[in-house]
Amino acid sequence: MKAYVFPGQGAQFTGMGKDLYENSALAKELFEKANEILGFRITDIMFEGTAEELKETKVTQPAVFLHSVILAKTLEDFKPEMVAGHSLGEFSALVANGTLSFEDGLKLVSQRALAMQKACEITPSTMAAVLGLADNVVEEVCASIDGVVVPANYNCPGQLVISGETSAVEKACEAMKAAGAKRALILPVGGAFHSPMMEPAREELAAAIEATSFSTPSCPVYQNVTANAVSDAAEIKKNLIIQLTAPVKWTQSVQQMIADGATLFTEVGPGKVLTGLINKIDKEAATANA
């Protein structure tokens, strides 16, 4: 079975999507439509902008989404039998399997980025990567720390990202090292994504998601929140709202996709982060980049 996976924030690079724009009439049309919807020329920043400009929250998330979705739409023989996306990438996956229209997906991603930015400004918060510890040890350490700090991204065995209040994350990093972590390092992010700190953003995004039309997908999406195959539009909607404050179960999603018959994982979008993680989750998994 063909599985297509879509990357999240952090995969962006200067020049992303430029070749698509120059070589495909459909891609050019979709990029120009995106400029119109967003109210600024995101293509200028994607194709020519600095790394700093690309890192702006209002740019990063729509840019990664656009690169992934437009690339998927220009692929020959694009017939996914299962899809999944890492965090933001779940929105790309939902356009790829027909749950969301291109326009609605872009509007939601833009609203999500701005809502998350606002939530980041309320309380000092951050994320940290923990390498070389079992998931259950990371969970136990987080639970033992005063303040808000939780597992946020289960990326692959031995690589988990934690998220929360800055002071609690710093304390947790020290405790992780004491528990035997190879590394526990603070990440250069705007705030504590996939943690209770995103509650204001979740409330704001929930209203936008509720007001958006979701169709029955052409194939199941393995959602971050459950790591299971979901084909019911109402359930997809519910899980997408929970996603902002819940952990990304990427390891579990990939394992479940393999158990359900995935034979080839193709990463669609900027970078090769997900194929790298998939190969760490299962050394036998066949991977490709679109």
Sheet holding 82-85, edge to edge: 229-230, 221-222, 82-85, 2-6, 264-267, 287-289
First and final C-alpha spacing in the chain: 16
Instruction: Please tell me what DSSP assigns to residue 78.
Output: -
Q: Cα(267)–Cα(128) distance, rounded to whole angstroms?
A: 25
Cβ-Cβ contacts under 8 Å for 181 (sequence gap 6 or more): 130, 131, 132, 133
Q: What share of the chain is helix, strand, coil (3-state, %, to 5)?
A: 50, 15, 35
Instruction: Please tell me what DSSP assigns to residue 123.
Output: S
Angle at 5 between CA 253 and CA 10, to 5 degrees: 100
Instruction: Please tell me what DSSP assigns to residue 101.
Output: -
Confidence of residue 158 (pLDDT cuts 50, 70, 90): very high
Confidence of residue 278 (pLDDT cuts 50, 70, 90): very high
**Residue 87 is a catalytic residue:** yes
Helix or strand holding residue 232 (H, E): none
Nearest to 205 by CA among 86, 119, 90, 92: 119
The answer, yes or no, to whether residue 31 has pLDDT greater than 90, is: yes
The answer, yes or no, to whether residue 6 has pLDDT greater than 80, is: yes
Could you read off the pLDDT of 48-104 as tens digits, one per residue? 999 999 988 789 999 999 999 999 999 999 999 999 999 999 999 999 999 999 999
**Residue 194 is a catalytic residue:** yes
Angle at 115 between CA 111 and CA 117, to 5 degrees: 120
> Which among 68, 194, 195, 253 is annotated as catalytic?
194
Domains of the chain: 2-121+196-289 (3.40.366.10), 125-187 (3.30.70.250)
Average pLDDT, the chain: 96
pTM: 0.96
Could you read off the pLDDT of 102-144 as tens digits, one per residue? 999 999 999 999 999 999 999 899 999 999 999 999 999 999 9
The confidence score (pLDDT) of residue 56 equals 85
The confidence score (pLDDT) of residue 188 equals 85
Of all residues in the chain, the percent with pLDDT exceeding 70 is 100
Confidence of residue 171 (pLDDT cuts 50, 70, 90): very high
Q: Cα(125)–Cα(28) distance, rounded to whole angstroms?
A: 38
> Which among 68, 87, 110, 195 is annotated as catalytic?
87
* Cα within 13 Å of Cα(68), Cβ side: 39
Confidence of residue 256 (pLDDT cuts 50, 70, 90): very high
Contact assessment for residue 175 and residue 141, using Cβ atoms and an 8 Å cutoff: yes
The confidence score (pLDDT) of residue 66 equals 98
Rounded to the nearest angstrom, the gap between the alpha carbon of residue 132 and the centroid of all alpha carbons in its chain is 22
Residue with tokens 């393995």: 222
Buried b (16+ CB within 10 A) or exposed e, 3-15: bbbbbbbbbbeee
The confidence score (pLDDT) of residue 189 equals 85
